[in-house]
Structure 1
Amino acid sequence: MTTQGNLGAQNSATDPDDITLGELLGALDSAADLPLVFNYDGRDVKPGYHVTEVKAGRFEALDCGANPESWTEIFIQLWDVNEDRSHMPAGKFMKIIGKVIEHVGLERAAKLTFEASDGIRPIQLHRAALPQIDGGVIRVKLSPRPSSCKPRDRWLQEQTCCAGSTSAKPCCG
């Protein structure tokens, strides 16, 4: 194993800055013994962090263009506290998620959101990037989950993938 690199290189993540539960678990599987360190707000979580809750939700909504939307989302809550121990090994994290998969049934293709708080500041919502091996640890960079306008996002995607197309039919699938 290399001392530095992207663990998700063998994965085909749609957006390497917004991975699914399956992409995260697949990347961690090859480095289960290494410490797992989440990074958000420009710093690493404290060594005593806990995974305090894992929940799955099925959402039905109307977007701002009155289009029906539905998705499944997994929320992993991190309690960012310092206790007298080292960062959790990736294998322990995977066992925690495995127990939840057994009892709750998580969809590996579901949208993945991390909730992080130190127990004092409000929970912040984050998306996860593909894990990287860095200095003997697995580092997962979390970035704030932005809001978006789904009709605009779809329009922009169509403009991007249809650029240069002369077909009268929609060119994005």
Structure 2
Amino acid sequence: MDTQSFLSLIELHPGQALVFKYDKGKAVAPGYHVTEIMSVHYQSVDCGGQANAWRETVVQLQGPRAKDKPEYMSTDKFLSIYRRVTAAIPVRPEAELRLEYGDRETPAMHYHIGRIDLEDNAVVVQLVPPGVTCKAADRRAANEGCASPQQAAPIPLEVLPGGCCD
């Protein structure tokens, strides 16, 4: 889900609790903090020699500390934090939104948004773990091939014998 779609959706539910669930229904504990919002630009070259670039917005969540009130952040407070960040740094609305969370039992990772549900005056964001993909194989599966004429010439790489993803 892109950043603007997420923001537009939660703006429709002012004052509601914003709950993040991960790992098959575990909720980030009430009292969590948004510790950082990052505007990230990735540049890579895949195993087929194709250059790639994309942007993500990463929202880092931290569980509550002992002194924190055990209540969920409201959608309004989240939007207020986001607006303060975007006043200081450019964040692209079309960038994919990722949520970074981890605790003592779960390693930190950048989750994708699986879906968003409305439950009892709460906006519940269902997070799903990231996976890996082979961009070269994905292009081939889409009948574009590793170095089709429609794409820029790949950067020469000797990654695997015979070409990409062999």
TM-score norm. by structure 2 comes to 0.78
Q: Is 2:156 the counterpart of 1:156?
A: no
The correspondence of residues 1-173 of structure 1 with structure 2, limited to 5 A, is 19-42=1-24, 43-81=26-64, 83-118=68-103, 121-158=106-143
Report the CA distance between 1:85 and its aligned residue. Answer: 3.0
Q: TM-score, normalised by structure 1?
A: 0.75
Q: Helix, strand or coil: the match of 2:8?
A: helix
Instruction: Kindly state the Cα deviation for residue 121 of structure 1 after the two structures are TM-superposed.
Output: 4.7
1:46-105: per-residue Cα shift (whole Å, max 9, x none)? 001100011111121101111010111111101023632310001110111111111111
Q: Distance in 1 between matches of 2:126 and 2:116?
A: 7
Return the offset for 1:136: 1.9
Give the Å deviation of 1:117.
1.7
Aligned AA (1:78): L
Which amino acid letter does the alignment assign opposite residue 100 of structure 1? V
More helix by share: 1
* Larger-gyration structure (1/2): 2
- Cα deviation, 1:5-26, whole Å, max 9, x if unaligned, reads xxxxxxxxxxxxxx01111001
Q: Once superposed, what is the RMSD of the aligned Cα atoms?
A: 2.1
Distance in 2, Cα, partners of 1:29 & 1:129: 19
Matched-pair identity in %: 27
Structure 1: which 5+ residue stretches go unaligned? 1-18, 160-169
